[in-house]
């Protein structure tokens, strides 16, 4: 019978057809990276830098595992992947091992080999994959690992960071909702694909993950800023300190508790010291305490940087007003409120000058409500400033637009 012999007619000396196939596969894997603005990747690296457990949520095939692999390579951290759903609770709490005299020495809990390797390395990225397919007993065993960083009798060193990934229950294989205690220990980031990133990555260049550059001169300022932001909101909204959602699905995500507010404070400090964008801060804050409380906190943070109304009234000609419409509206309302609290002719005139400046540098409709309110504060002996004439057109135009909109709504209702 004929015997098989290696085929070498490949154009590559001594190479078989499988060798050529392997060479082609190697070329396909040969990709590069480039610095690129990516908010979700920046949020991930910032949370990793803050040494907080992160949970990436996304549909299957969205690139969560690839992102973690690339992150580990970029940060030069050995990657240890543990598929949570294929492990037993004892794999995380430790297996009992009998010693020479259990009555005297007790029964130690032996850790798994992957935990031993992490301790020996002293650093690494522990990737807990398929978390939403882990049954409740395994999730309970993971609580100590995620919070206390303990596996059996071993304690993971500070150089180890923890990141997990999960699919929504609707798209997970035999998925479970996360238990509230486990969910509340993570920063939840929704992972979605960016069309341009995917196209450029398939072309051979993926975005590069880099640790944030923290400004050493802003560390104390960052801590003070974060504490004022969180404590200021919770002092005004005590109901937000702890709010366990009623639905099972929402309990498996981000929700406010003293633990998650502490996480949020840490994230704000790191984001402030790194000079991160508002979009990145929004991803982190909402991923820690949920969308509702997170958006309230972001609004509170925005108002922390608003100029003092008294400073604006003292120098209306040199006033710098926020660009964003909602913040500008808040500033103008604050100026009018300050005049109402301490009314006099000079402050009233200065407020009109500020409204004129707002009219010249922004949307006219933002001055309508403050101008209307300010006009009601006039005393009989106060002369009307000439600046009111410039504002009259904007107020009248806005009112006509509102009346036209109302007429259209009435006509549309009559046709139904």
Is pTM beyond 0.85? Reply is: no
Q: What confidence tens digit (pLDDT) does each residue in 68-123 have?
A: 888 888 888 899 998 887 888 887 877 767 666 665 666 667 788 888 899 999 99
Using a 10 angstrom Cβ sphere, with 0-12 exposed, 13-18 middle and 19 or more buried, the burial of residue 166 is: buried
As a whole number of angstroms, the distance between CA 65 and CA 263 comes to: 24
Give strand ranges (E) for 337-409: none
As a whole number of angstroms, the distance between CA 288 and CA 297 comes to: 11
Q: What is the pLDDT of residue 403?
A: 47
| Residue ranges covered by each domain of the chain | 31-97+106-207, 216-304, 309-415
Reading the block at residue 146, the tokens are 């995620």
Q: What's the alpha-carbon Rg for the chain, to the nearest Å?
A: 30
Number of other CB atoms surrounding residue 369 within 10 Å: 15
Q: What is the pLDDT of residue 323?
A: 84
Number of other CB atoms surrounding residue 370 within 10 Å: 24
3-state SS assignment for residue 122: coil
Count of H-run helices and E-run strands, the chain: 19, 11
Q: What is the pLDDT of residue 408?
A: 45
As a whole number of angstroms, the distance between CA 392 and CA 371 comes to: 9
Q: What is the pLDDT of residue 200?
A: 83
Q: What is the pLDDT of residue 228?
A: 93
Q: HSE on the CB side for 51, CA within 13 Å? A: 10
Q: Which secondary structure element, helix H or strand E, spans residue 390, and what is its range?
A: helix 387-415
pLDDT in tens, the chain (416 residues): 455 555 555 566 667 888 889 999 999 888 888 877 888 889 999 999 999 999 999 888 777 888 888 888 888 889 999 888 788 888 787 776 766 666 566 666 778 888 889 999 999 999 998 888 888 888 888 888 898 888 877 899 999 999 999 888 666 556 678 889 999 999 999 988 788 888 888 888 888 777 889 999 999 999 999 999 999 899 888 999 999 998 878 888 999 999 999 999 999 999 999 999 999 999 999 999 999 999 999 988 888 778 888 888 998 888 888 888 888 888 888 889 999 999 999 998 898 888 888 888 888 788 888 888 888 888 888 887 777 777 766 555 444 434 444 544 555 555 55
Q: What is the pLDDT of residue 260?
A: 97
Q: What confidence tens digit (pLDDT) does each residue in 42-65 have?
A: 999 999 999 999 999 988 877 788
Handedness of CA 31, 35, 36, 39 (dihedral sign): positive
As a whole number of angstroms, the distance between CA 284 and CA 268 comes to: 8
| CATH number assigned to the domain with residue range 31-97+106-207, chosen from the 4 options 3.30.413.10, 3.30.70.330, 3.40.50.300, 3.40.50.1970 | 3.40.50.300
DSSP state letter for 43: H
Q: What is the pLDDT of residue 357?
A: 87
Q: What is the pLDDT of residue 64?
A: 81
* Cβ atoms of 176 and 133 closer than 8 Å: yes
3-state SS assignment for residue 13: coil
Q: What does each C-alpha distance from 119 to 130, 248, 343 come to in angstroms?
A: 23, 36, 67
Contacting residues for 166 by C-beta, under 8 A, at least 6 apart: 55, 56, 57, 130, 131, 132, 172, 178
Q: What is the pLDDT of residue 397?
A: 42
Q: What is the DSSP string of 304-334?
A: HTSPPHHHHHH-GGG----SSHHHHHHHHHH
The sheet that has 187-190: what strands, in order across it? 79-83, 123-129, 159-166, 54-57, 187-190
């Amino acid at each position: 019978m004929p015997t098989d012999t290696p085929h070498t007619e490949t154009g590559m000396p001594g190479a078989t057809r499988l060798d050529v196939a392997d060479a082609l596969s190697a070329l396909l894997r040969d990709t590069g990276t480039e610095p690129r603005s990516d908010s979700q990747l920046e949020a991930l690296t910032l949370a990793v830098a803050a040494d907080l457990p992160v949970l990436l949520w996304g549909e299957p095939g969205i690139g969560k595992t690839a992102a973690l692999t690339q992150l580990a390579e970029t940060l030069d951290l050995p990657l240890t992947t543990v598929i949570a759903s294929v492990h037993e609770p004892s794999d995380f709490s430790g297996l009992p091992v009998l010693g020479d005299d259990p009555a005297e020495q007790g029964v130690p809990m032996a850790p798994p080999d992957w935990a031993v390797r992490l301790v020996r390395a002293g650093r690494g990225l522990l990737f807990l994959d398929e978390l939403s397919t882990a049954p409740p007993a395994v999730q309970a065993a993971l609580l100590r690992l995620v919070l206390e960083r303990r596996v059996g009798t071993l304690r993971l060193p500070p150089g180890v960071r923890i990141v997990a990934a999960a699919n929504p229950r609707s798209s997970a294989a035999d998925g479970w909702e996360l238990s509230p205690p486990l969910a509340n220990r993570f920063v939840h980031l929704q992972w979605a694909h960016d069309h341009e990133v995917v196209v450029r990555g398939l072309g051979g260049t993926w975005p590069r993950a880099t640790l944030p550059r923290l400004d050493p001169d802003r560390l104390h300022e960052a801590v003070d800023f974060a504490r004022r932001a969180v404590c200021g909101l919770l002092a005004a909204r005590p109901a937000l300190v702890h709010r366990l959602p009623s639905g099972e699905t929402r309990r498996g995500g981000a929700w406010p508790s003293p633990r998650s507010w502490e996480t949020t404070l840490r994230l704000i400090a790191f984001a402030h010291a790194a000079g991160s964008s508002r979009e990145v801060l929004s991803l982190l804050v909402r991923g820690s305490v949920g969308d509702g409380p997170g958006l309230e906190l972001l609004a509170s943070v925005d108002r922390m940087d608003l100029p003092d109304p008294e400073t604006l009234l003292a120098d209306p000609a040199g006033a710098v007003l926020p660009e964003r419409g909602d913040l500008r509206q808040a500033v103008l309302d604050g100026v009018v409120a300050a005049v109402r609290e301490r009314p006099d002719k000079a402050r009233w005139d200065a407020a009109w000058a500020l409204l004129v400046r707002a009219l010249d540098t922004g949307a006219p409709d933002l001055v309508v409500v403050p101008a209307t309110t300010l006009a009601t504060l006039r005393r009989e002996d106060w002369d009307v400033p000439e600046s009111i004439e410039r504002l009259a057109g904007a107020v009248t135009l806005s009112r006509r637009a509102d009346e036209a909109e109302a007429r259209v709504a009435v006509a549309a209702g009559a046709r139904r």
